[in-house]
Structure formats: structure tokens, C-alpha cells
Chains A and B, each alone.
Chain A
Amino acid sequence: MTGAGASTGLVGFARALRHGGVACGPERVHAFVAAVDHLDVARREDVYWAGRLTLCGEPDDLPRYDVAFQAWFGGVPPVPPGRRARQGSHLAALGGGTVRRDRAVSAVKVAASEVEVLRRKDIASLSPAEKRHLDELLAVLEPVPPTRRALRRTPARRGAIDPRRTLRDMLATGEPTRPRRRRRATRARKVVLLVDVSGSMKPYADALLRFAHVVARRMPVEVCTLGTRLTRVTRQLRHRDPEQALRAAARAVPDHEGGTRLGETLKVFLDRWGQRGAARGAVVVICSDGWERGDPALLADQVRRLARLAHKVVWVNPHAGHDGYRPVQSGIVAALPHLDRLLAGHSLDTLQELLEEVRLA
């Protein structure tokens, strides 16, 4: 058994570790003390491994743990930090050639009716009248949520035989009966929209939020705005009336037309909502031009983290619809290896394409 003094020391170390950024709750600390009990508290190496095995929960914790261990127990950690594994390099194969251009080609053939033109027109170049028209067209979009297989099976006309129901039927009647069938049910998959409202996105932010409102009316959606800070506007967008919803959202967002710190705001999103479940298994759509003022490496880390949590990550960049677009902005370059899809989203047509992409995700 360890003495009371020793276990106080261990708890103190765990607290120091928590300050160092490792999320070790009481349950883990308890396991740590119990683990040392099974080993030799007088041996540094044993204490090192007992702590590392119980207090850490992911590879990122390990270097922090080594630093904290060194600070608390002195000297070098018994095991030098090994070579950190490289991750995600195989994802880098996804290049910039994913932007769809077939629509642009077919546009030539189309009779130039007013709506058809509006559908393809860049939202940034619309006149006020056209903009009002666009708002109407946005309102009649019919988004369909993506689905995932549910864990349960439900009775169905076709599918695998449901032995339990069939057997119960036979027991009830005493006669061979028609086999009952069942199949996997489907459930709506969560969708998360992250809309960049910084200065460079000004021509598109309003239309994108309006789009978010339409989507939020039809499926389970979480909407946040990105900029210099993160604001969750899901609640504001629940208003039935689009004008009221957008006014409420605008009031909630303090950093309209400010700068962009995508990496940091994305990290806040993941820490506060994403990791806890909002992004888990969801289809995440990031609407941003990728002009990153912060550290692109941080953004890359966060997008990678998001990609691991989410089912699909789609980046919508209004500039991607323009001729001669190359994904060269620091933000896009950092994020690109971890994305499932890069879409345009600068016109009504491309937004509809986005809906289709989300539905099939």
C-alpha cells in the first residue's frame, strides 16, 4: 500500500498535469493511484508508466505528460519521447481538382430565361432586385437530410427474415406462416454549417446565412459563424420568419466583417461543441474563402481533428466557382488534405449542388 503522503503527491501531480492541458478527470486520477498501488511507488519508471497509462487518453497528451512528469518529479522522464507518428499523409492525395465544372459547361446550352441566369450568377454581383429574387428562390429550396443506418432493424416488406417475429407468429397459430422480414432503419444524420462572416466573405455571408436558415428549417442542423470568434446561431435561426431569424443572428454575431482566425475559431468549435457530439458522425460544411490570418498549421490540425470526428467534411469556397481559381490561400492549402470535397457555393445553382452533396454524404 502507498502511504497517505505518497498518494497526495500523486494527486498533486495529476492536478499539475491538468494545468498542462491533459484532460484527466477524477476517474483517471483514481485509476492512477490504484495503478501505483500495484507497482512500486519508489521506482520512478513505475510511477511514470502508471501515470501515462491511466492519465493520458490520446497521442497528443503524451508529450505534455512527459513535460509535466519532468517538472514534477525532476530529471528526465524514464523513457525519452519517441518519434511521434506521422498522420494523415495519405490524405494529401486529394488535390484541388474536385471542383465541379460540368454545370458551367452545360450553362452555354441553356436558354437564357431570367431565373436560369440568376441561378448561375455570382451572388456577389447581384443587383438589389435580383437579390430579393434570390431570397425567394432560396426559400423554396427543399433540402433533404443525409441518412445513416440506424442500429435497430424495423419490420419491412422486404429484407432479411426476422426470425423472432416469424417464430412468434408460428407459436401463436401453430402453423407455418409467411416469414416476417426486417431491415435496417435509417436515421437523419446531423449536419453542421460553419459560416465565415469575416470582411472578405461580406458579399456572400448574408446569402449563406439565409441558406442556413432554409436548411435549418428542414433538418437537424447546428449553425455557427466563424470570424475572429465563434458564435452559435442555431437558436436564432429557428425563427420561422427568415427576416426575423437573420436579424436575430446578426445581433448575436459581434464580429461581422472582421478578420479571420479560422484555426482558433474552429478549435473553439471543436472544444466546446464538436468533440462532445455536434460534429461526431455529422456532415460538416465549412463556408469560407480560406483567407487565414492566423497560423495555418493550427488550422490544419483542427481540420484534421474535425475530419476524424465527422462523417464528411465539405468546404464551400465562393471563389472556387470563379475561372482560374487555384486553392492557394494559406487556409485552404492547410485544410485541403483533410477535406472530402471542395465545392463552389457562389451561386444558387452551386448551393443546390451543395445540398445534393450533403444529401448523399
Chain B
Amino acid sequence: MTPEELAAELDRVGYLPDRGIATAAYLAWRMHRPLFCEGEPGTGKTSLAVALARALDLPLIRLQCHEGIDATQALYDWDFPRQLLHLRALEAAGPVDADQAEASLYTRRFLLARPLLQALEDAPCVLLVDEVDRADDEFEAFLLEVLGENSVTIPELGRVTAETPPLVVLTSNRTREVHDALKRRCLYHWLEHPDLAREVAILRRRLPGVTERLAHQVASAVRRLRDLDLLKPPGVAESLDWAEALLTLGRTELDADTAATTLGAVLKYREDAQRALSSGVLGAASGSTIGG
């Protein structure tokens, strides 16, 4: 497979990658290196992992990071209630040898695989480590160890190693600087908002009912909104929402009035909406002529 072929596969499942994204995903897959994706919210970091899983026909395992996440939430935990029940059952059956009872408690049967262990066991698969910038420093060090060796040691059971390393996609919204040690082991890709042609293509691909004209109007209006220095510039997801909202209302064209009434699909802050309305950017949407 070449990057072009991977791009075609992603295209097939509804994700339109540009050259950079396709090459990044291809190299991550072939070099067995995690792919570290950074960029503004809404540029398609998370959906890349979802699309990769579908395109390569692999299971997707997702680990959502948050402040204070630790090994028991990410790696594995023991199923305490079932262990207790098991112990009770043993006792009910007759006299129990303590050592044997303990040995029978710490077996794979009572182990709850959390996303990282699950990914190592289910490999090949796509592992999405979402919003890694929300986790703590210590967690990064822990991730580094698991991703670097593609294996973990469970004291009671031994070592679990993935035969084929999972294809790992890490995403970050850059709310915090992620440790260089982690980045160094990854491929790094900064995702930009798609250019106009690609955004139109994405809209048409994901929403078959949208006409070329409407898709073009929505995409160019969203581009102008992104230039307004808003609190939350709209991402691709917002373009999709907007186009879908217009479709649902049965509109075939984006004029200033329609834009004003459906603005809630794109802008999520009152200040942003006010700025957009007063800037006249939306008025321009109706007057815009498009070729083709």
C-alpha cells in the first residue's frame, strides 16, 4: 500500500485526507510509531482515528484522557465484586486453602482490561488516545512506557505483549505543552482547517443532499467566520452541522436572513454571534457569486 492508496481507503469511508494527513497516517502505520496530532479543535484529529479504523478494517479502542487519569482507568483493574463472590463461593464449597484461594483470585478471569491493555491484547487495532493534553505529566511518562514497549507487566499475571503494535493516534488541543520525551517517539502532525475545495468536498461527501452551490456557500461563509478572531472559530464539524441544519429546513441557498437564523449551528458564544452579525460577513454570503 502507498500513501495514495491509504488516502483512497480513507476517502471510501468518508474521510477526505490531504496529502499531509495521508502521509502521516501511512508512516505511523508502516513505521509502528504513534501519530501525535495537534491543531485547532474541529480540524478532524479524532475523526482521523475513527476513519483509520474503518479504512483498515480494524477495531477502534478509545482512551479519553482527563485530569487525574491513572493506570487503573487506562490499563487494567481487578474486578473486586466478582473476586468477593468467588471467594464466598469457595468458602461455601468447603474448607479453603488461603494460598490456593488467592492464586485463583488473581487470574485473567477477574482482570478488567481498560483501553490500553485491551489495545495490546486486541492488536492489530487502532488505539485513539484522545486529548492527551488534559492528563497529568505523570500519566505521559506512563503512556511513554506502554507505547514504547508495546507491552505491560501485570505483577500477578506476567507480561502482556502485542504481537503487532496497535496503530496509535494521540490528539492534543494544545492547552498545555506535552512533554518532549513523548513527542520524540511520535510522528508529529499539525492539522490545519481544510482549504475551501476540500471543505466543499467533505460537505458533499458527508451530506449527499447538499448541492454544490450550498456547500460552496457554507464553506466560504465558515472560512470568513474563521478569519474574524472569534472565541471559538468554527471547525469542520460546525460546517457539517450548519449544512445539515439548512437541509433540514429545506433551504437550498444561504442568504443573510437564513444565515442569521441558523447561526446557532456554527457559533456557540453570544459574543461570537454578535461579532459575526455586525461584521457583515454573513451579508456577503448572499451576494457571493460562485462559478460552477
A residues whose Cβ falls under 8 Å from a Cβ of B: 23, 25, 27-28, 31, 34-35, 38-39, 45-46, 49-50, 52-54, 56-59, 62, 78-79, 82-83, 85-87, 89-90, 149, 151, 163-164, 167, 170-172, 174, 184, 275, 280-281, 305, 308-309
Contacts and interface: CB of A to CB of B under 8 A. Distances in A.
B24 A90 contact: no
Interface in B225-246: 229-233
B130 to A, nearest CB: 19
Interface string B71-89: 0000000101001100100
B290 interface: no
Nearest to B38: A59
A90 B231 contact: yes
A23 B174 CA distance: 19
B183 interface: yes
Nearest to B33: A31
A50 B27 contact: yes
Contacts of A34: 31
A85 B40 contact: yes
B149 interface: no
B255 interface: no
A163 B78 contact: yes
Contacts of B177: 275, 280, 305, 308-309
A53 B101 contact: no
B188 A53 contact: yes
Nearest first, the 6 closest Cβ-Cβ pairs linking A and B are: A163-B80, A49-B23, A82-B192, A53-B187, A151-B138, A90-B231
Interface of B: 3, 19-20, 23-24, 26-27, 30-31, 33, 38-40, 68, 70, 78, 80, 83-84, 87, 91, 96, 98, 101-102, 105, 136-139, 174-177, 180, 183-185, 187-190, 192-193, 229-233
B102 A54 contact: no
Contacts of A50: 23, 27
B292 to A, nearest CB: 23
11 contacts: A35-B187, A50-B27, A52-B189, A59-B174, A79-B20, A90-B232, A167-B87, A171-B105, A305-B177, A308-B174, A308-B175
A53 B91 CA distance: 58
Contact of B31 (A28, A35, A184, A309): A35
Nearest to A150: B138
Contact of B188 (A39, A57, A83, A309): A57
A78 B24 CA distance: 15
Contacts of A27: 184-185
Given A38-B30, A164-B78, A305-B177, 12 more contacts: A25-B184, A31-B187, A35-B31, A46-B23, A49-B20, A78-B19, A83-B193, A86-B229, A151-B139, A167-B84, A174-B91, A281-B137
Given A31-B33, A39-B3, A167-B105, A53 B80 contact: no
Contacts of A25: 184
B4 to A, nearest CB: 11
A15 B232 CA distance: 38
Contact of A149 (B23, B40, B68): B68
A170 B87 contact: yes
Nearest to A49: B23
Nearest to B67: A149
Contacts of B231: 89-90
A62 B190 CA distance: 9
Nearest to A153: B70
- Counting chain A CB atoms within 10 Å of each CB, the highest count among B19, B137, B187, B230 belongs to B187
A38 B32 CA distance: 12
Contacts of B78: 163-164
- Counting chain B CB atoms within 10 Å of each CB, the highest count among A27, A49, A57 belongs to A49
Contacts of B193: 83
A79 B87 CA distance: 63
- Counting chain A CB atoms within 10 Å of each CB, the highest count among B33, B40, B184 belongs to B184
A163 to B, nearest CB: 4
Contacts of A170: 84, 87
A171 B90 CA distance: 12
Contacts of B102: 171
Contacts of B137: 280-281
A53 B34 CA distance: 11
Contacts of B174: 59, 87, 308
Nearest to A52: B20
Contacts of B188: 53-54, 56-58
B80 A167 contact: yes
A62 B233 CA distance: 22
A49 B136 CA distance: 30
Contacts of A171: 87, 98, 101-102, 105
Contacts of B19: 45, 49, 78-79
A24 to B, nearest CB: 9
A184 B188 CA distance: 34
- Counting chain A CB atoms within 10 Å of each CB, the highest count among B26, B27, B184 belongs to B27
Contacts of A45: 19
